Amino acid sequence: MVKDQSVLKYVNPTFTIQRREGEPIRLKYHMPDQEVFESLAARTRPCILEREPVYLDKVFRSVTMCLGARKMSETAQKCFDECKAHFAHLRDKDGGTSYSIQMFDTNDVPQGEPMSDLLIGEAWLYSDLVHTDPQGRKAEATALSYRDRYYAGTSFFSQLSIIIVNMLNLITALNRDFGFGIDPKAWEEQVVAADEDSERVAENMYMLPQGTQIPDGVRPKDMPNAVDVSSMTETAWALNPQQRATIILCKADGQLVDRFHGIYSWNDDKMTLLVGDTFICELGIGQQAALPAGFKEIEVTRRVFKGDPTMTTKVWDAVKRADLMIGVIPRKEGTAYVIVPFRENQVHVENGRMLVRSAVEEDHPTGGTSM
């Protein structure tokens, strides 16, 4: 409300009188969204509490002490004096009143003294916002409806917000001009959560079974059953077992080079494999016309996801040494084996496309590979 200056609309309480033929007149109060305004009131409340270091009377005295014999500009002095005067009205309730409410009994006899909007607004703070028992005349205002208290509170805290913003701007300028020696961190210290605070960067993150106790001196990554959820592959392995694929890299004679976790998706005539967060392999496994016998088109794209750089290096090193990649994919019908040769004599280039001799075999018994 302060940033978009909508708070200015509520400094002076307003309402609309509505007249309709044959009906009593109606008053339409202009009030802000309650949830938003309660947030504003809660943040500005410390500035009216004497025990708080940001109590505005303390702020005024501090500015005067920091200036000493020095004089601020005429414009700055006018701003300073107006802030002090407006705060005095809020604090003492003896001026600045926009309206007042007088209560009467059923015989039209006045009950007590008229209550100013400022008094009623402060009663809303204590009785409705912080839920404490208001004292003195503020307690009398609790006899009014919640609408009346909230309506008065919108004016009270809108005025207070304007005073606070004006004082912040004034102190910023005075500190620049006179060097008050305010700690530079005071201008940068975070006091509210913004949209950007809903995100944070995590270099590594691990998931452990609920209730796991991490012993002193033990890293989460070294715990049994730890899942590196900063890895897309490992996260899918843990949360979506149906996407699991075991990737075996081997020599032409079957000698194992290494094996890695992978995840796959199989949609119609295309299978996509993500290998160790390092590269994506897309295989056309449906009917394809005009391809040499025994060839299927395969697109291999390097994708390095922000995870463990050591794993990425390990995967690429194994790819360079391997002649063959075998993807072992458990399915309800059995185990599917995706076989992708890597060597140049098994690659055919036609019309700018890279075709790799490959095979996709299904319905093998689970565990049918000895690698």
- Give me the tens of pLDDT residue by residue for the chain, a chain 371 residues long: 777 788 888 888 788 888 887 788 888 888 888 888 888 888 888 898 888 999 999 999 999 999 999 999 999 999 999 999 999 988 876 555 677 788 888 888 888 888 888 788 888 887 787 777 777 777 888 888 888 888 888 888 898 999 999 999 999 999 988 888 888 887 777 666 666 666 777 777 888 888 888 888 888 888 888 888 888 888 899 889 999 999 999 998 889 999 999 999 888 778 888 888 888 888 776 544 444 444 444 555 545 555 567 888 898 888 888 888 888 988 888 888 888 877 654 444 444 444 444 444 444 333 333 22
Separation of CA 272 from chain center = 32
The residues near 328 (Cβ < 8 Å, ≥ 6 apart) are 245, 246, 247, 248, 335, 336, 337, 369
DSSP state at residue 365:
P
Chain centroid to Cα 251, Å, comes to 48
Give CA separation, 196 vs 22, 40, 199, 213, in Å: 54, 20, 6, 32
Q: What is the pLDDT of residue 197?
A: 62
CA separation, residue 86 to residues 126, 161, 239 (Å) = 21, 11, 60
pTM (predicted TM-score): 0.51
Q: How far apart are CA 55 and CA 47, in angstroms?
A: 4
Q: Answer yes or no: are the C-beta atoms of 305 and 277 closer than 8 Å.
A: yes
Distance CA 5, CA 237 (A): 50
Instruction: Give the H/E segment covering residue 300.
Output: strand 295-302
Nearest by Cα to 288 from 272, 270, 274? 270
pLDDT at 196: 66
The two structure tokens encoding residue 62: 């501090």
Q: What is the pLDDT of residue 335?
A: 85
DSSP assigned state of 2: T
Helices (H), the chain: 34-44, 56-67, 74-92, 117-124, 137-140, 146-178, 232-239, 309-321
What pLDDT is attached to residue 308? Answer: 67
d(CA 132, CA 115): 20
Q: What phi and psi, each to the nearest 5 degrees, are found at residue 174?
A: -65, -40
- Report pLDDT for 352: 41
C-beta separation of 191 from 213 below 8 A: no
pLDDT of residue 363: 40
Sorted by sequence, the CB contacts under 8 Å of residue 360 that are 6+ apart come out as 271, 283, 285, 336, 337, 338, 339
Q: What are phi and psi of 264, to 5 degrees?
A: -140, 160
Taking residue 248's Cβ as centre, other Cβ atoms within 10 Å add up to 22
Total Cβ atoms within 10 A of residue 36: 11
Could you give the angle at which helices 74-92 and 56-67 cross, rounded to 10 degrees?
150
Cα angle: 42, vertex 50, 149; to 5 degrees = 45
Compute the distance between CA of residue 305 and CA of residue 301 in angstroms, rounded to an integer: 12
Give the per-residue pLDDT at 290: 43
